[in-house]
Amino acid sequence: MRILAAGDEFVGTELLISEVRAEIGDQEFSRLSLPWPVEPFGPVANVHEASGTEAQVIEALAGAEVAVTQMAPFTKQVFAAAPELKLVSVCRGGPVNVDLAAATEAGVAVTYAPGRNATAAAEFAIGMILAGMRRIATSSAELLGGAWRGDYYAYDKTGIELEGSTVGLVGYGAIGSRVAKVLLAFGARVLVADPFADPARITADGAELVELDDLLRQSLVVSLHARLTEQTRNLIDAEKLALLPEGAVLVNTARGGLLDYSPLPAALRSGRLGALALDVYDIEPPPADWALRDAPNVIATPHLAGASRQTAERAAKIVAAEVGRYARGEALANVANPDVLTR
């Protein structure tokens, strides 16, 4: 079986090949190395968050029956040029770099890797919450810049503790549920807004399911963990921000599109927001004239929440396991286009 391994600087090509070999033995591999994350991902034709070009993928796919990748663009043009292709296994939480309609039309199953970065992203979110509540990042930057902020010990400028605080989680999937367990261990009260979550599970975990507006009104900290859809785009806008308690901390390590960024600078300067911690953005990377660069109490990291060595290793193992199921004629575990199975 000929397999295309299209890796990048995070989930490397040789790591993908090694895990596939461990699953089904040696095969005939073609290799493609993509420049992400050294070069940012972006749209390619009609797919999003992709790295490399259609021409590169088409050339590397010649004769391949299976492809494993994280970022390679699989567009209608790519599927049309690869008639022998039967499986694309994507080691991401969602195969946004694949045209699923075109894949289904071509009879190609597309799998993905749910939960691959859940541990890394949950741990990172907790770090961002603590950094925002206790001025960890901003005071460090000020100290390194020469300012000793002893005034942060003044009562009205001190940080707040997790124990006894109410924290709202918008989304309760693999990441949000992990964040909740850590917050509860700290002694926080945890509210959850997620119309798709199992209420019984939330209650059993020790959290409380509420409507979004109620969560915003009650939560001193709000952390976003929802998927980006047309329904959740700009979910937190100026109207929703106005519901937050004065001085609340807002954290987004999920998707940039969940936030309307335009009201955030004014909310920080007025004190409506006490701190803003971001790992994702509406434009990545943010432009030079980004309005939040000189806003107070902003923590900004370059989309690192899922970046751990274990995430890369886990992602490669997940896609390799799908290749193993395919090779053995077993049912695939995580199919993004299940209609293809009836074709």
DSSP codes joined into one string, 96-136: TTB-HHHHHHTT-EEE--TTTTHHHHHHHHHHHHHHHHHTH
Strand 42-44 and strand 47-50: the pairing is: antiparallel
**Which one of the listed residues 284, 293, 330, 343 is annotated catalytic?**
284
- Indicate if 249 and 171 belong to the same structural domain: yes
- Looking at every residue in the chain, the average pLDDT score rounds to 96
Residue 1 CB contacts under 8 Å (≥ 6 apart), including other chains: 27, 28, 65, 66, 327
- Indicate if 248 and 325 belong to the same structural domain: no
Averaged over 258-272, what is the pLDDT?
Answer: 96
How many other C-beta atoms are found inside a 10 Å radius of the C-beta of residue 185?
10
> pLDDT band at 267, cuts 50/70/90?
very high
- Indicate if 201 and 279 belong to the same structural domain: yes
- Indicate if 260 and 163 belong to the same structural domain: yes
- Indicate if 267 and 249 belong to the same structural domain: yes
Verify whether residue 269 is a known catalytic residue: no
**Which one of the listed residues 255, 272, 314, 325 is annotated catalytic?**
255
How many other C-beta atoms are found inside a 10 Å radius of the C-beta of residue 1?
15
Q: Does the pLDDT value for residue 343 go beyond 90?
A: no
- Indicate if 30 and 76 belong to the same structural domain: yes
- Indicate if 64 and 185 belong to the same structural domain: no
- Indicate if 122 and 206 belong to the same structural domain: yes
Q: Does the pLDDT value for residue 134 go beyond 90?
A: yes
- Indicate if 84 and 215 belong to the same structural domain: no
Q: Does the pLDDT value for residue 322 go beyond 80?
A: yes
Averaged over 257-277, what is the pLDDT?
Answer: 96
Task: Tell which residue, 34, 31, 28, 32, has the closest CA to residue 8.
Answer: 34
- Indicate if 314 and 165 belong to the same structural domain: no
Verify whether residue 303 is a known catalytic residue: yes
Verify whether residue 225 is a known catalytic residue: no
pLDDT at 110: 98
Question: Per-residue pLDDT tens for 304-321?
Answer: 999 999 999 999 999 999
pLDDT at 284: 86
Task: Report the domain count for the chain.
Answer: 2
- Indicate if 56 and 145 belong to the same structural domain: no
Domain that residue 102 falls in: 2-116+308-342
**Which one of the listed residues 2, 21, 217, 303 is annotated catalytic?**
303
Averaged over 82-106, what is the pLDDT?
Answer: 97
- Indicate if 78 and 149 belong to the same structural domain: no
Instruction: Give the Cα separation of 246 and 271 in Å (integer).
Output: 7
Instruction: Give the Cα separation of 183 and 305 in Å (integer).
Output: 17
pLDDT at 214: 98
Amino acid making up residue 270: S
Do 309 and 317 meet the contact criterion of CB atoms below 8 Å apart?
A: no
Averaged over 70-88, what is the pLDDT?
Answer: 98
Which CATH number belongs to the domain containing residue 240 in this structure?
3.40.50.720
Q: Does the pLDDT value for residue 48 go beyond 90?
A: no
Residue 224: Cβ-neighbour burial (10 angstroms; 0-12, 13-18, 19+): buried
